[in-house]
Amino acid sequence: MATEVKVPVLGESVTEATIGQWLKQPGEPVKLDEPIASLETDKVAIEVNAPAAGTMGQQLFQVGDNVSVGALLALIEEGAAGAAAPAAAAPPAPASAPAPAPAPVAAAPAAAPAESGDPVALSPAVRRAVLEYGIDPASVKGTGKDGRLTKEDVIAAAQAKAASPAPAASAPAAAPAAPAAGGRNEERVKMTRLRQTVAKRLKSAQETAALLTTFNDVDMSAVMAARDAYKDAFEKKHGVKLGFMSFFAKAAVLALKDIPAVNAQIQGDEIVYFDYVDISIAVSAPNGLVVPVVRDCDKLSFAGIEKAIVAYGKKAREGTLTMEDMKGGTFTISNGGVFGGLMSTPIINPPQSAVLGLHRIEDRPVVRDGQIVIRPMMYIALSYDHRLIDGREAVTALKTIKEAIENPTRLLIDL
């Protein structure tokens, strides 16, 4: 008797998802609660776990198909090893050649390599990276959940391959591939549901809000000195590293408390002011940009903020963020500096009214006390909805953040 696998409840107001990938193929053994499929919703990827142990049976949808909550996804047949064997023996049966009786024996070993490099088990982002960098996925050890490959694994393998002198010896063998490299090829990849939603929301933000950006620069000397002085003791006591994000989160709390409009939202014909600060931290995940929410930043310590950021970063890489992790948020911080960005105009995350953009730190000449000195400087940007936030308020909020970072004592005495 087969067990039905149905689309689970996806979250509040979410009724539909897209089949991102099948993690188990028909004929493969399945354990109880083992992930068998990945569904992509508007915000996160959700894994569907097996409701029973057995063998993967019929799959009623293909990758890329849209499915509704409660729809029948697949069937799990009873038995594991016993059912898996007929599945492996099934391919030789259509051949129906009397002589090649040993063929099933040869087919079984061939199935193992196919499984290790099966592109269906890769996420769309990983598949694109594999094609772009020319990496054999079977040769790379995955660091994601259950040993799955991540985009970062593929990039690291490509960098290691480029740095290795070994390819020089195999250059003659690679010569035949040269004509293909010079060709004019095209690849069409369907946008993931997450990417489609990001595109719609960002475009909607541009069309709905009166976006404006104000800039400033920050001398990072004091924060860097504090971090260097206390990072070892901080990590020893709290179990997490002391990063720059917690400083900016606390500095943003000061600014948002002083300028409530930056922490407010327009809802219909009303302005909603919040007496709490929930900061959405933009995180790059394999399937795209996600913004999990660090709640009650105004009440959390530096350690509490760092722990929340680390936990969300891990969940983003593993694809285990939930709808609840992404829900809400009154303000956003996006750090483009980790990718080397010098300056940008970030787009607000609706229905929020402002977003703080951080950028790379670089040594630049500045004037201090009439002298030209070298300081580690960072450009910061505040994009805001001019319908709600006046220019004076935006500039003041950004200036408050700048002053708090340049003099971290302000964070301790709430000034």
- Model confidence band, residue 131 (pLDDT cutoffs 50, 70, 90): low
What span, in angstroms and rounded, lies between the C-alpha atoms of 413 and 324?
A: 33
CA dihedral (384, 389, 391, 397) in degrees, to 10, reads: -80
Residue with the bigger pLDDT between 248 and 151: it is 248
Out of 65, 228, 390, 414, pick the active-site residue.
390
Q: Is the model more confident about 191 or about 80?
A: 191
| Average pLDDT along the chain | 80
In the predicted structure, residue 66 carries a pLDDT above the cut 50: yes
| CB neighbourhood size of 116 (10 A) | 11
Q: Per mean pLDDT, which range of 42-56, 150-164, 205-219 is the poorest?
A: 150-164
Q: Residue 151, exposed/middle/buried by CB under 10 A (0-12, 13-18, 19+)?
A: buried
DSSP 3-state assignment of 355? Answer: strand
Confidence of residue 7 (pLDDT cuts 50, 70, 90): confident
Domain ranges of the chain: 3-176, 195-413
Confidence of residue 114 (pLDDT cuts 50, 70, 90): very low
Report pLDDT for 100. Answer: 46
How distant, in Å, are the alpha carbons of 9, 295, 310, 358 from that of 48? 10, 27, 25, 36
Phi/psi of residue 264, nearest 5 degrees = -105, 175
Indicate if 385 belongs to the active site. Answer: no
One of 118, 136, 232, 386 is an active-site residue; which one? 386
pLDDT tens per residue, range 266-279: 999 999 999 999 99
Amino acid 141: pLDDT: 80
Give the confidence band of 317 by pLDDT, cuts at 50, 70, 90.
confident
In percent, how much of the chain has pLDDT > 90? 39
At residue 110, does pLDDT exceed 80? no
* Residues paired with residue 332 on neighbouring β-strands, in sequence order: 280, 355
pLDDT at residue 103, rounded to an integer: 43
Q: Per the structure block, which two tokens stand in for 313?
A: 């970063």
Q: Inform me whether the pLDDT recorded for 218 exceeds 60.
A: yes
Higher pLDDT: 154 or 312? It is 312
Neighbours of 238 (CB within 10 A): 15
Which tops the pLDDT comparison, 352 or 106?
Answer: 352
> pLDDT digit string (tens) for 150-194?
777 877 887 787 776 544 444 444 444 555 566 788 888 877 777
pLDDT at position 365 is 96
- For domain 3-176, the question of CATH label 2.40.50.100 is answered with yes
CATH fold for the domain made of 195-413: Chloramphenicol Acetyltransferase (3.30.559)
Q: How does pLDDT run across 87-100, given as a tens digit for each residue?
A: 333 444 444 444 44
Active site residue 278: no
Lowest mean pLDDT among 49-58, 172-181, 224-233, 271-280: 172-181
pLDDT confidence of residue 15: 76
Is the pLDDT at 387 greater than 80? The verdict is: yes
pLDDT exceeds cutoff 50 at 112: no
pLDDT higher than threshold 90 for residue 361:
yes
- CB-based contacts of 140, cutoff 8 Å, min separation 6: 149, 153, 154, 157
Percent of the chain with pLDDT over 70: 79
Mean pLDDT of 69-98: 58
Split at pLDDT 50, 70, 90, the class of 360 is: very high
The pLDDT of 128-152, averaged and rounded, is: 74
Give the model's confidence band at 137: pLDDT under 50 very low, under 70 low, under 90 confident, else very high: confident
Of residues 48 and 390, which shows the higher confidence score?
390
Q: How far apart are CA 56 and CA 316, in angstroms?
A: 28
